[in-house]
Amino acid sequence: VFKSEITRKWCVIFPGSDKTVTFRSQLYNYNFKDERPAQIKTYFMMPLLHIFFVAIMGAIIFALSKFKFGRSMLKSYPGLFSFGLFKEGGPTREQMKDSSFTMVFWAEGWKDKLDISEQHTEPPNKRMKVVLTAPDMAYITTAICLVNSGIVCLKEKEKMPGSGGVMTPGAAFQDTTLLERLQKSGMEYTIMEK
């Protein structure tokens, strides 16, 4: 837990797979496209009091998940153990329609692009902020991403690397129109240079 100098808000390491997936995409570009990999760290921001609340909630759920009786309780009463965040049957269509999320990406680097074998001698001199705003993350945006990814796999096979296999989304879709398709489907990306 730390307070960000950029956002002036409390940050916690994001426990999801984002960092690993992004790292693997960067490694692919380094190995096959001779591109310098970006260094990635993923966090989520929230008020300090909420961080403690989430930590306690996570500890309770983790402890209960270790025992058969606890898992049964978690499945039977999801609303109780998530303090109303989740409920059996999920959200209503109206709740999904009224829900949205925002992700903010901060990047720091150099204006001049060097060859992969060279190192910058001066400190970073360029900053960017990218803001992603999209509909409900769990249901609507997941469906948007899945459907558009499938369409791209079918229509733009020749733009994708190799002949199949397991790839990260960044490596698989970087030369396709997936980003444009996502934007047309309601995901809004705003790029601001600092």
Closest by CA to 38, choosing from 47, 27, 48, 49, is 27
Q: Is the pLDDT reported for residue 25 higher than 90?
A: yes
Q: What is the pLDDT of residue 74?
A: 92
Residue 35 and residue 25: Cα distance in Å, rounded? 11
CA distances from 44 to 10, 88, 159 (A): 8, 26, 33
Mean pLDDT of 39-45: 89
Q: What is the pLDDT of residue 189?
A: 94
Residue 48 and residue 103: Cα distance in Å, rounded? 19
Q: Where are the domains of the chain?
A: 2-46+91-193
Q: What is the pLDDT of residue 15?
A: 87
Q: What is the pLDDT of residue 69?
A: 95
- What mean pLDDT is reported for the chain? 92
pLDDT digits (tens, 9 = 90+) for 147-160: 999 999 999 999 99
Confidence grade of residue 23 (pLDDT, cut at 50, 70, 90): very high
Q: What is the pLDDT of residue 85?
A: 77
pLDDT digits (tens, 9 = 90+) for 78-112: 888 887 777 788 888 999 999 999 999 999 999 99
Q: What is the pLDDT of residue 54?
A: 86
